[in-house]
Amino acid sequence: MRPPRGTTALQLDPLASISARGFLVVVAVVSMLVAIGVTLSTTDQISSWPLAVAALVVLAAGFGWFLRSAFRFDLGVSSDRFATAFALIAIATVLNSLSCLGTNIVVRDDWGLITLGLALMAAAPFRTHTELGTYVTVSSVVVLILVVLHALMSFRDTVIPVPVTVLVALAPILALGLGSVAYARSLLYGIYAERLEQADERDQQLDALRQAFVDDDVVGGIGGLRSDIVPFLGRVRQSGVLTEADRLRAAELAEGLQRALDTTAQQDSLGDHVSVLVDESALSVRLHEDDRATIRALLIALESSPHTEKGSIILELLEGESDRFGMVRCSSDDVRALRTDVLPFIRMTRLMFRTATEQVVGCELLVQFDIDRLG
Amino acid sequence: MTLQIAADVEGVATSRALSRAGTWLACVFLAATFAVATLFIPVTGRWDITLGLIGLLASGVGVVLALRAEVYWHALLFTLLACAGLYFFALVATEVSVQVPGPTPSSDYVLLSMPEFAVLVVGIPARSLAKSLSLGTIAFLAGPGLVQVAAWQQGMPLAVDVPVLASYVAVTLLVCSLWLGRREAARGTALMAGAALAEERDVALSRFHDRASTWLTENVLADLRALATAEPGELGLEHRQGIDRDLANLADVRLILDAPGVHGSATRKLAKVPVLLGAVRDGEQKGLHIRVTGDLSAVNALSTTVSRSLERALVECLDNVVQHSGVMEAEIAVMSSPPELSVMVSDAGVGFDLDQTTEQDVGLRMIVVDNIVEIGGTVQIWSRPGAGTAVFVTVPGGYS
């Protein structure tokens, strides 16, 4: 089954944004270094310094915008945001090319051809392969126009045939661009296949749990159903007559069953991960399962961080007349390091709860969230 | 999100994606080199360039196989094959370049650089950072390294190929950043997956337990209490039927667990339909209990624009249920009748009289209706006071 149209890999797997952002940072740094390095090493080919400097500034702005979008918690690198970043990087490519118009010796010295391709490569996890395909086409057309312009203005005396120059100029953008399209498509299909597999696994787990519940005879174990109640009911039904002693026995068994039902209320395992659970309204067991899993993941992350002070994790779930909210507290000697450790899970909390904030108060990390829904 | 999260915990999908990306990247560079070298055959009149092209093809085959290899030493062998092919191509290309009249290029010229770029990517899909870096380094030493040897053998002026060297450094940095990020993400996803599974277990057991308790209270406990208060004597029909039902269900408790509501949140079944997931999650966050039925997979076939408009419309409809219906239950039914797809959002709330309500009062923001109409769809509303409301949205596209 193919994934829904317009879906990006990061929409299916938000935690992969951690590696995608790291990759983008390196691409941005490499691109800037390549642009500055090539500009400085080919000064003899520059005919317009204002354009050369403007190209570097616009390139920095393009990657700056791209990075800013990638690190935003809300929208991320949306289609519009990437379009803006791409436009700025493409403009930088054009400015770089124009800055050596008439004095360009070889097309491979134009850094724009590389940075444009690198930007597409970095965009692969953030955008769809269809979008990237369009950007590759646009980039190829831009490069083609620039090469033809240089063939007319700069390479008139060269012995290299124009088709060769065109091929050399197009190769990086096509290689990196088509590589990014293949990456985005393959990653999306791979993650989607994994999602389907996980959905099947969950169904299987539910069936297995149901079978285990039946096999363990949990129902039969409540209130001595199997040992007392079933034989009693069987005997009364067989005889077809209710005696005074049966009435008393029925009352006794009813009382015992009621007691058993009251005491066998399901225990909440969320409390296993904290030192103190404050939950006077029994909100924990009423939370939506997705919200509970998010809180559980945050608590496990806090538990497993080496910077967490032992026995300091506190979960408070509070219910007022019109609102419900939760608070996770955790102490540490190095609370900043603790925050860094659990940051991906704080981000998940922000994704799951409509409002979620985190702050460092003294030596304590505090994550607070509103609870809008119940299970 | 969490229970629906798909995570590439093992890095298999990422590795395969990198392999595909590397294949395209290498093939484009090799194809460009192939095309340029072929163009030089009639220009130089040297048909022995064809032999060099065979070396180039061997190099391409080696790179592609190395990128797809699942065993490290296979990838290493294919990398060496790619480098040998490149060396053979470089021998021919440099010999021709030295022999033809005109200025002789140095060993960093573009015809040699492009296939060198192709060889450098062989390590990127490896499943560990060490393997990835070692393959990349071997490719760098044996690829561009042997090209320099070939150039020296043919008497071509030697020069450090700065773009190739810079590319090697860049690929190394990118692989490192990707791996470090992936390690962090894998830790997160593994933790998240563990938490989700624990949650699943808790929720399932809790539901089974609740269902069993409810059934016991409503049936066995009620019947025992009825017997305790009944007059002694022959059992009445009602008592006999009650005891028969209790004994039958206690003999096979699976019947008790198969009741509706035991299978959890509506978002669970939407794992395969992310377009509906957002709208349903939004509704659930507002406290709604939502039942989703119909040909859900058909929604996946909608175009991006139609999907977005539909999602907005559904969010708006569910918001209306929360605000105006007076109930907190809603149903979304998907019906596919190609070339159209219809989605009905209904509730059993207070409803309203459509004839006495202006378009603005309906609550469904006109911008949403306009949006659906703009993409070629329709919106119909049925409602009667006391009989609930149904909004029927039809959009183009979808398949079953």
pLDDT in tens, A59-111: 999 999 999 998 875 557 888 999 999 999 999 999 998 988 877 767 767 88
Delimit the domains of chain B by residue range: 1-264, 266-396
Residue B197 with chain A: CB contacts under 8 Å: 205
CA dihedral B79, B80, B84, B85 (to 10 degrees): -20
Asked if the ipTM is above 0.90, the reply is no
State mean pLDDT over A183-190. 92
Characterize the bridge pairing of strands A364-370 and A356-361.
antiparallel
CA dihedral A151, A157, A161, A167 (to 10 degrees): -40
Higher pLDDT: B85 or A234? It is: B85
pLDDT per residue as tens digits for the range A116-129:
999 999 999 899 99
Whether the per-residue pLDDT at B3 is higher than 50: the answer is no
Structural domains in chain A plus CATH codes: 9-196 (no CATH), 218-260 (no CATH), 269-370 (3.30.565.10)
Residues in chain A: 375
E strand residue ranges, chain A: 241-242, 276-278, 314-319, 324-331, 356-361, 364-370
CB contact under 8 A, B25 and A230: no
CB contact under 8 A, B188 and A18: yes
* Amino acid at the residue A27: V
pLDDT per residue as tens digits for the range A142-164:
999 998 888 887 666 666 778 88
Angle at A331 between CA A326 and CA A336, to 5 degrees: 100
Closest residue by Cα to residue B212 from A231, A218, A206, A226: A218
pLDDT per residue as tens digits for the range B373-384:
888 889 888 888
Q: With contact defined as beta carbons under 8 Å apart, do A262 and B213 qualify?
A: no
What is the H or E stretch that residue A210 is in?
helix A162-215
CB contact under 8 A, B195 and A297: yes
Q: Helices A17-41 and B162-215, interaxial angle, to 10°?
A: 170
Residue of B nearest to A122 (CA): B174
Residue of A186, A228, A268 for testing the chain B interface, max B β-carbons within 10 Å: A186
CB contact under 8 A, A209 and B20: no
Q: So what's the pLDDT on residue B2? A: 40
In the structure encoding, which two tokens stand for residue A256, read together?
A: 């015992």
User: Under 8 Å CB-to-CB from B318, ≥6 apart: which residues?
Assistant: B279, B280, B282, B283, B286, B288, B290, B330, B345
Q: So what's the pLDDT on residue B305? A: 80
State mean pLDDT over B288-311. 83
Distance CA B11, CA B17 (A): 10
State mean pLDDT over B288-292. 84
Q: So what's the pLDDT on residue B120? A: 95
Class of the CATH domain delimited by B266-396: alpha beta
In the structure encoding, which two tokens stand for residue B320, read together?
A: 């209306």
Distance CA B181, CA B16 (A): 17
pLDDT per residue as tens digits for the range B141-170:
999 999 999 999 998 888 888 888 988 998
Supply the DSSP symbol for B322.
Answer: I
Residue of A2, A5, A323 for testing the chain B interface, max B β-carbons within 10 Å: A5
Lowest-confidence pick of A154-168, B15-29, B227-241, B250-264: B250-264
For A240, the closest of B117, B234, B271 (CB atoms) is B234
Q: So what's the pLDDT on residue B109? A: 84
Residue B284 with chain A: CB contacts under 8 Å: 288, 373
The partner residues of A277 in beta bridges, in order of sequence, read: A315
For A233, the closest of B247, B272, B285 (CB atoms) is B247
Residue of A2, A11, A18, A264 for testing the chain B interface, max B β-carbons within 10 Å: A18
Closest residue by Cα to residue A101 from A52, A173, A165: A52
Angle at B353 between CA B350 and CA B357, to 5 degrees: 115
Q: So what's the pLDDT on residue B400? A: 46
| Range of A132-141, A338-347, B7-16, B253-262 with top mean pLDDT | A132-141
- Quick one: pLDDT band at residue B46, thresholds 50, 70, 90? confident
Whether the per-residue pLDDT at B89 is higher than 50: the answer is yes
Whether the per-residue pLDDT at B1 is higher than 50: the answer is no
State mean pLDDT over B132-137. 94
Burial class of A36 by CB neighbour count within 10 A (0 to 12, 13 to 18, 19+): middle
